[in-house]
Chains A and B, each alone.
Chain A
Amino acid sequence: MKHEDYKEMIALDALDALDGDEEQRRALDAHLAACADCRAELAALRDAAASLVYAAATPSPEAAAPELRARILAAIKSQPQDARHAPTNGVAATASQTSNVSSFDEFEKRREAREIRVGRGLFMFGSLAASIAVAALLVTLALVWQRNNRLQTELARLSETVNQTQQELARTRADRELLAAPEAHTATLAGTKMAERAHARLTFDARTGRAMLMAADLPPAPAGKAYQLWFIAEGKPPMPGRVFQPDARGHAEMHEIIPPEGRTAAIFAVTLEPAGGVSAPTGEMYLKSSAS
């Protein structure tokens, strides 16, 4: 796809006017992840689109009644809020403090400095000395080559760490975008009699299928068993999602890409199943979303 085509898609995406074409969506998202220019363009066009709110007339004063205000604010009072999503473990958290990447930079600078020193030394000798210098150079080079091998191994290890960090950061960024995306849907799941204190929130983007389940106060799963998420669309049998285990505190966080057939689901449930997951629910239900 040419860059111009992406620019056109971006203008349409700013208005949420793209057709629901899977492949096109994926191609656009992949391009956006890689192109800062297009990301900035999309943000600017979304700002412009948002200003269209002013193209709608404002309701007249008595319409914006004070009891509407009171009703809305009262309904929201003491509702739970999403916690800020941040990496709590792993490479991503460490990277923010230490500097796996900058130690690689240092390695590069040291290698360059060494090469320059060897080069400068050679010019100072006469022709006889030159042959001595060449011998010395060969020895130096041999030593450098040996050192280089060891450093190459270390470099490979650091590159791998950088990769992992980048992947984790990309995932964390994607999670936060999902949680904040104005188009994302949220479903609240409440505990059944199997786990009355359990609760969960499922946030998902119906266009891409990206979903995140955050659950709390789930009892630990017995050995050989795990919790499984189900998507229930009207008139269809429950579609299986991934399995997950809560941690010692009963919290669980699970990421999923919902296949297209499941994205119209309006009801979600979590049951206890054999650890490998099953294709149709067999176990007790622990969490269920309320029909809205």
Chain B
Amino acid sequence: MVEAAPQTSPDTELLHAIARGDESALAALYDRYHSILLGLLLRILHSRVEAEDVLQEVFLQIWQRAANFDEARGRAFTWMVTLARSRAIDRLRSLQSRQRADDTALRDAPDNVGDASDDAYHAEQREIVRAALAEIPEEQRRALLLAYFEGLTQSEIAARLGQPLGTVKTRMRSGMSKLRDLLGEKMGRGAGLNF
């Protein structure tokens, strides 16, 4: 991954402002990231109603916890995305346990169609990530995506794919390693991922 720039990133600046109670900074962060976060939530929850609800929860928690974000420990982008994914997986598990009999009821929105809505800010990053994923061997990629978007654990992935646990672990390790290297490579070429 690209070395962090010596000055604070714009996202970190926004979080600092949010921590000081600046509501316009929260609005700015919302404007910058709501579309990709909503996309993530829709992919995990397959329901517009649930995704919007969790999106609200996510921004509320960003507002509540901004003061304890420490950039020395990681990037603002990672913090936000991880928070969104965690809330989504929590909601998914809660929905699954309440509606075990009828999974189809969860899906009230078809999977998203285009990315035509991406503004320039995200379009470049999306390209980089898509290209990187395409270069990862299919078995590794499948395991990574099952973990990330369905919140499955290593054993659950092994069961789902009908593969031995050891194989799955090795593939996930290789996949993550490759993803990290490819992203680093592509970003190093001045793609300027704005973390």
Contacts and interface: CB of A to CB of B under 8 A. Distances in A.
Interface of A: 7-8, 11-12, 14-20, 43-61, 63-64, 68-69, 71-73, 75-77, 79-85, 176-177, 179-180, 182-183, 185-186
Interface residues of B, number: 86
A47 B59 contact: no
10 smallest beta-carbon distances between A and B, as pairs: A182-B83, A56-B43, A57-B112, A54-B129, A182-B82, A180-B68, A50-B81, A15-B147, A11-B173, A17-B147
Given A15-B176, A183-B82, A53 B37 contact: yes
Interface string B78-103: 11111111100110000000000000
Nearest to B37: A53
Contact of A71 (B56, B61, B195): B56
Nearest to B170: A8
B14 interface: no
A11 B177 contact: yes
Given A58-B122, A72-B55, A79-B63, A48 B154 contact: no
A68 B41 CA distance: 15
A44 B111 CA distance: 30
B60 A50 contact: no
Contacts of A176: 68, 70
Given A44-B180, A73-B23, A60 B63 contact: no
Contacts, number: 209
Contacts of A17: 147, 152-154, 157, 172
Nearest to A85: B68
29 contacts: A8-B170, A15-B147, A15-B176, A43-B73, A44-B180, A46-B74, A47-B78, A49-B82, A49-B176, A51-B193, A54-B36, A54-B128, A54-B130, A59-B38, A59-B112, A59-B117, A61-B117, A63-B38, A63-B48, A68-B55, A75-B60, A77-B23, A80-B64, A81-B64, A85-B68, A176-B70, A179-B65, A182-B80, A182-B82
A177 B65 CA distance: 11
Contacts of B68: 82, 84-85, 176, 179-180
Interface in B2-43: 19, 21, 23, 26-27, 30-31, 34-40, 42-43
Nearest to B90: A185
A20 B38 CA distance: 28
A43 B169 CA distance: 19
Given A47-B1, A57-B113, 14 more contacts: A8-B170, A12-B147, A12-B169, A17-B172, A52-B145, A54-B130, A56-B36, A57-B39, A57-B111, A71-B56, A73-B26, A182-B82, A182-B85, A186-B61
Contacts of B147: 12, 15-17
B168 to A, nearest CB: 9
A285 B190 CA distance: 59
B67 interface: yes
A47 B153 CA distance: 19
Contacts of B148: 15, 49, 52, 55
Interface string B140-156: 00001101110111110
Contacts of A7: 173
Contact of A76 (B59, B170, B172): B59
A81 B82 contact: no
Contacts of A183: 82, 86
Given A11-B172, A60-B113, A55 B64 contact: no
B94 to A, nearest CB: 10
Contact of B39 (A8, A50, A51, A59): A59
Contacts of B1: 44, 47-48
Contacts of B36: 53-54, 56, 58
Contacts of A54: 36, 122, 125-126, 128-130
B122 to A, nearest CB: 7
Contacts of A52: 129, 144-145, 148-149
Contacts of B120: none
Contacts of B122: 54, 58
A53 B173 contact: no
A12 B115 contact: no
Given A54-B130, A76-B26, A19 B155 contact: yes
